[in-house]
Amino acid sequence: MTQRSGFPFCCLTRRLQIPQLLLLCVTCHALFCSLVQPGLEGSANLMHLLSNKSNQEQGYCETQARLASSLDFWTLSSENLIAVLPVDPVKENYVRKVKNCIFSIAFPTPFKSRVRLVAVSKEVLEDILDLDLSVSETDAFIQLVSGEKIVFGSIPLTHRYGGHQFGIWADQLGDGRAHLIGIYRNRQGEKWELQLKGSGKTPYSRNGDGRAVLRSSVREFLCSEAMHYLGIPTSRAASLVVSDDEVWRDQFYNGNIVKERGAVVLRVAKSWFRIGSLEILAHYGELDLLRSLLDFIIQEHFPSVNVQEPNRYVDFFSIVVSETAQLIALWMSVGFAHGVCNTDNFSLLSITIDYGPFGFMEAYNPDFVPNTSDDERRYKIGNQANIGMFNLNKLLQALNPLLDRGQKHLAAQILEGYPVLYYTRFTELFKAKLGLLGERKGDGDLIAFLLHLMEKTEADFTMTFRQLSEITQSQLQELNIPQQFWALKMISKHQLFPAWVSQYLLRLKSNMNDSDSERRKRMTTVNPRYVLKNWMAESAVQKAERNDFSEVHLLQQILQHPFQKHSAAEKAGYSSPTPSWAEGLRVSCSS
């Protein structure tokens, strides 16, 4: 049983203690030989004529002119990866132990039944992939995003990695149901890796069927986009399709196996490399390959690190430590629990990836665990910062074979600085949530005091901070909490609430050049009114399973503007207390 976290989400006043610890019918494997010829880096080729700076500044019409209206000249490429990183020489797609490579070639397995487009992200299509939204209405698009066809010039890859799962080394894991279908370079010069999730078996499928079900795919599509609009680094979701293929799942691992439908999400990220990508190489002593992969990652994704510098791996580690602390602090600021913080789910770019049994905390509880598979509550929300430390320590262990004695010492010191980095960022974020300006002694205690009251009264995390953003100081001072501020009314029942209000109002007086209206305006930009609570996702899932995707679309629309009040969201109860039917709602790793 894991112990209560020593990090300040549970108790800000506690001392930080962490244990060291072109779309063609390319569906046949026989075409592989023609695909491996060097190709152009993925792009919308004809659009490059329009990508100079002056055109980029000419507004909406020019932007629309640069968007591809079909997939005819839109290309992907895997060349950037396979020109540098070794590929498994075995081309057959069967489950096996793979060594001395980074990727295996594996083609997606098309669905046998009809495929239906459930949802697309207009912003991902247009802003990242240079595709006009109308492209999503074409058969070619459905074939691409469901894995039926591969863009000519690209080779579908599956990534080999390992990882520590629930604290224990799990050996080879890898992309067991995901295919990287290519890299796209957009008009801004950004390179994005496109990955299908739920697209069939790979050499890394272990005992799985390579599929993902509609239930989990709806959740991933909605949450990855919701996190982006909350300002949290994350992979993005371009599309969601569902089939009529039968997929059997034991959702809660209790022997109750039920039939569900297979679905595929097209996910995009700058990179899908994770801590486990390095761990597997270090574990098997593939040090030359470890060095090659690290140098590639640094060259591609860490421009501030000189790849020729002898201390480059230490510099790389320092950035990952800092950005991981930042990411987890951001999670905490919106009450997000990832659910499965294994090293194979922690991105080296410090973005949120692999959405499974996640949850946004409703009633404030540092012991909140969204994942029913986590019997020991290892990944409870209040322990996420500690787990970040654990995972970074495993990253350091993977780097150690490439470091000299001095570099190891320096890297260890960097890791020891993680708690301060986390605490500092956590405090900054929660001060902003309370509208506090400047530095004052006791700010940490004020935050901790509020969290204590919230825990004792089981107040809603999201709405407590949101309603503090909307209530006036005079209403607070009079302890006159209108009924509309239901979360604050819950806290106000605590006998110590007047004391906290007194301290809070006194602290607000020290804000320089501030007003109550400015405070409220400022706070509503950092405290969301809507997050994807599990009951909201479940409601959308239940309708989707009946082929009613209206709530998926509604949530997608609302969660693009989480800080703005929306009449449809209010009507749906998205800022109201959790409905009684959702009490005890559970999610698991089964997906």
Residues with catalytic roles: 344
Buried b (16+ CB within 10 A) or exposed e, 457-478: bebbbbbbbbbbbbbebeebee
Q: Which amino acid is at 32?
A: F
**What amino acid occupies position 591?**
S
The number of beta carbons lying within 10 Å of the beta carbon of residue 558 is 22
The torsion angles phi and psi of 366, rounded to 5 degrees, stand at -60, -20
Q: What are 211's two structure tokens? A: 């599929």
Among candidate residues 277, 247, 225, the one with its CA nearest the CA of residue 101: 277
Q: Can you count the helices (H) and strands (E) in the chain?
A: 22, 14
H, E, C per residue of 41-83: CECEHHHHHHCCHHHHCCCHHHHHHCCECCCCCECCECHHHHC
In the block, residue with structure tokens 């993977």: 398
Q: Would you put residue 211 in left (φ > 0), alpha (ψ -120 to 50) or beta? A: beta
C-alpha to C-alpha distance for 8 and 427, rounded to whole angstroms: 9
Distances in Å between the Cα of 511 and the Cα atoms of 479, 507, 524 are: 21, 7, 17
